[in-house]
Structure 1
Amino acid sequence: MENSENKAFVVDDYKIIKINANLYEVEMIFNAKSKNKNEVYDLSVEVRSENINHEHRVGNKRKKEMTLEKWKGKKFKPYFTDKYENLSFKK
């Protein structure tokens, strides 16, 4: 997660659920209690291999049936950004 306000990276707990060829299924815990109110956090994945680093924002290439309904009523607001439809969270 990247804090959009100060561009600092925040690492919450995660685990790899499944690997199939080049596809990784990852589960991440978003710890809203540890975040500051009114800040926005952007979800991205960073892949490292030897001396190559690649960061990719998550959300714009998602399954059509993916919705944010299950997160309603939580201590944060997930949303897809207007310009690129990437996944972000606002505390």
Structure 2
Amino acid sequence: MGTRFGLNLFSDRTPPSARRRYALHVVVYAAIMFALLWPAILPFNRFEPQVLGLPFVMFWITLSLLFALANTAALYRYEYRVVRGGYDG
């Protein structure tokens, strides 16, 4: 195919649907990371209101961790089932 320069994120054998799926997960992770950084967390940095007995900022951090967990689980299930050809119940 000629000489390739730059960052090669995917193998030539990676199907376009898998590339889009991986890119979507990267966007979700970037949004979660941005939501926890200094300028984005300022509106949530409050003690009141309390949610489930937690200050709102702690609830926000916990919620973002749960979103990251769900995103990782979805990526794992997709990769195991579709890319590697396994079956995950």
TM-score by length of 1: 0.22
Q: Relative to total residues, which structure has the larger helix share, 1 or 2?
A: 2
Rg comparison, structure with higher value:
2
Q: More relative contact order in 1 or in 2 (CA 8 Å, sep 6+)?
A: 1
Q: Relative to total residues, which structure has the larger strand share, 1 or 2?
A: 1
